[in-house]
Amino acid sequence: MRAENIPAGPRAGALALIAAVRSGATLSEAAGLLEHLSPAERARAQRLAAETLRHGGRVEATLAPLIQRRPRPEVMDILALATTEMLALGEAPHGVVNAAVALARGGSPKVAAAAGMVNAVLRRAAEAGGAWAAATPSRMPGWLRGPVAAAWGEAAARAIEAAHEGAAPIDLSGKPGAELPGERLPTGSHRLPPGSQVTAQPGYDAGDWWVQDAAAALPVMALDPRPGERIADLCAAPGGKTMQIAAAGAAVTAIDLSAARLARVEENLSRTGLSATLVAGDALDWRPEAALDGVLLDAPCSATGTIRRHPELPLIRDGGGIADLTALQAALIDHALTLLRPGGRLVYAVCSLLPAEGEDQLAAALSRHPALRVERPDLPGIEPAWITEAGGLRLRPDYWSARGGMDGFFIARLVRDA
């Protein structure tokens, strides 16, 4: 659906985003559908769509007893959006129901014919707060839930699902000595509430800090770049880790396959006044002029650790391609090790919950490279239980639950002995 064919208003925009997800698009890929809306309306449409997707499990449990026969997808989207507005976001039922009926009447003839049903179902849904509260959060798809439960148990799987239901806060990393807004976290990042207007925060215009999940900031902390060191950031976009390395005083080269994504890195560097050498190309083909002190490899992965930020991922992924991803990760690890001087260090990181991309990948690398050893992370704010038996760092969305959670990550610091 083209943007000019989408009815005006953030609710209609949210429905367009949800329909795009049903077709296999991410919310980011579908963002162009909202170009006709004002910035405030776009933000609201994106929030409504994300919250509706995030609460899909409760929506289904609440609506199932109220619907005799499941309606067409466009109608179900209207019901899901309105139910989420009323029961998750606390919007006044009268206005929500009227808006939902209007959206149905403005749809195709088959959708318009369901306007009466939409009205009747939503009036009953408005009184179904008990069913909503008793429902469980959306379950992870089997291809993800199975490995998660096998690795950490059923209770951990349920805790991760509960964490996915909450909107992610906004975390910040900053230059050394800069004052950052928000709550200071144990690891040193700062946290703002979900939905905070980033550009209005003190220090944004001065380039003192940038947005970066607290978990995503830890790989560079594990690398511990030092002034004057030569560091490569492989697969660098959008640049948060590149800026961390540059802010530490190291000479960093940022490599990324996508020139468009590297343009975002350049924009972020420009705003913060930091510098790096940018290279558009395949990290597997890139080689430095001289051996490096360190390499950061934030490898391409399933991104399953970011579901609380991207609630559409379980709906558009089926687990296919994991074998290709793990093969690519292994090849990148092997290549990265050839770039290091003797005694140099590699930090491997993935924003994934799958052990195949984390713990298993580390074990395989150690098996292939006898001269490789793991250095256990010694970082502020890290709980001992987060460190794996092999010395990697496993982060999960249910950690820091009282503070709003964190992205799922696996991080390992590897040293290439002489």
395, 411 in Cβ contact below 8 A? yes
Residue 158 located in a structural domain: no
Q: What is the pLDDT of residue 416?
A: 85
pLDDT tens figures, 8-26 = 699 999 999 999 999 999 9
Element (H, E) at 78: helix 73-87
Q: What is the span of the domain harbouring residue 343?
A: 170-416
Residues 333 and 395 in one domain: yes
Residue 155 located in a structural domain: no
Is 351 annotated in the active site? yes
pLDDT tens figures, 263-317 = 999 999 999 999 999 999 999 999 999 999 999 999 999 999 999 999 999 999 9
Checking DSSP bridges between strand 251-256 and strand 230-234, what pairing results, if any? Answer: parallel
311, 135 in Cβ contact below 8 A? no
Number of domains present in the structure of the chain: 2
pLDDT tens figures, 192-223 = 999 899 999 999 999 999 999 999 999 999 99
Residues 368 and 243 in one domain: yes
Residue 145 located in a structural domain: no
196, 171 in Cβ contact below 8 A? no
What's the CATH code of the domain at 292? 3.40.50.150
Per the structure block, which two tokens stand in for 412? 């390992």
Measured CA to CA, the distance from residue 230 to residue 246 in angstroms comes to 10
Q: What is the pLDDT of residue 7?
A: 55
297, 349 in Cβ contact below 8 A? yes
236, 268 in Cβ contact below 8 A? no
317, 302 in Cβ contact below 8 A? yes
Residues 298 and 360 in one domain: yes
- Per the prediction, the chain carries an average pLDDT of 95
What's the CATH code of the domain at 119? 1.10.940.10
DSSP string, 338-349: HTEEEEEEEEEE
Measured CA to CA, the distance from residue 272 to residue 248 in angstroms comes to 13
Least confident of 1-15, 40-54, 239-253, 288-302: 1-15
Residue 269 located in a structural domain: yes
Q: What percent of the chain has pLDDT over 90?
A: 96
pLDDT tens figures, 323-370 = 999 999 999 999 999 999 999 999 999 999 999 999 999 999 999 999
Residue 418 has pLDDT above 90, yes or no: no
Residues 129 and 13 in one domain: yes
pLDDT tens figures, 127-169 = 999 999 999 999 999 999 999 999 999 999 999 999 999 999 9
Helix (H, G, I), strand (E, B) or coil at 354: coil
Write down the pTM of the prediction. Answer: 0.94
Q: Which residue has the tokens 């579901």?
A: 307
Catalytic-labelled residue, pool 12, 18, 222, 351: 351
Name which of 77, 56, 194 is nearest 137 in CA terms.
Answer: 56
Residue 341 located in a structural domain: yes
Residue 164 located in a structural domain: no
Residue 5 has pLDDT above 90, yes or no: no
Query: Of 109, 134, 159, which marks where a domain is finished?
Result: 134
